Structure 1
Amino acid sequence: MKKKWMLSLFGMGFIAIVVVSTVAHFSKSFTSANNIVSAATFSVDAVGPNGISIGDAQFDLAGDFYPGITNKEVYSFQVRNNDSSVPVEYIVNFLKSGGLFPENHRSPILITLEKLVGEKWVEQDYNKPITPNSDVETYRVLVSWLHSGNDINFQGKTGKIDFELIVKQADLK
């Protein structure tokens, strides 16, 4: 019985040594405290040719608009990054309505968006987001009425073009 008791005591001692030796090891901990996070600024402006933020400006469609007019500049604007630290992209929409813009999308009126790059105007695909390359970018809107077999069907009709520029934060990829 004494032997059993000693063996039992020895076994428990051995287990205690094993447990203590597996728990005891070197450890270090590092903490960085007082870190300050600041939200970025988002300050972008779009201004018309008069230098005033775009509002209810109208395209210059003075006089009669007729078949054969090509690339008539009807509007220009700048998009300015006012020290914004947020990456942005532009979305341009031309909301068209009226008799010159039928629902079947077979209007003779074509709208073109161009960006001034250096000293050259470059056509932009406004059906997808535009990523700016500089803090100030200059754009212009051109309208054309190309000849077609159904020009007479649009005689005397009117239409409306609402211009919408949406500047939003771009996702970094």
Structure 2
Amino acid sequence: MRRIALIQGDITDASVDAIVNAANEGMLGGGGVDGAIHRAAGPALLAACREVAAVNGVRCPTGEARITAAGALDARYVIHTVGPRYGIDPAPAQLLADAYRSTYRLALENDCVSLAVPAISCGVYGYPLEEAATIAVGVSLEDEFQPLAITFYLFNAAIHRIWEAELQAAEGRA
């Protein structure tokens, strides 16, 4: 039985312990999945994000994660993580892996089991889909994260096919 599932759909419809937000360092909303999550969660999410201490405007550095209440979403928490901007941030593969690991560790620390996760850094941040899928699936399958039920919510059929191919390849290697 898979502990990783793939859905082509809207992450804001998920009913889980935590919805993962592909945030920016300021955590005050933005475009893509970040904007969609903030719109669906309502003003309570923005208020919760503002309570996270900022250093020079940064509430969540790239590769790290922060947790807040989920507002109007059908989840206990939103876990905000910041992936790298491909071609801009140094060591993007390491930063993307760190973003997933930080997210999953924060989920475990807060007794979360079920997670809805987007394709981090694959929108405006420009991460190549195949490479991102390899990192996302690889980290998700690490032994440390066995207790988690991870569902990737993927925006369209093309991204879903790439994640499905990577998941099948990773399961074949296991």
Q: Please classify the TM superposition score into its range, dividing by the shorter chain length.
A: under 0.3
Asked which structure has the greater CA Rg, the reply is 1
- Could you say which structure has the higher helix fraction? 2
The normalised TM-score by structure 2 is 0.25
- Could you say which structure has the higher strand fraction? 1
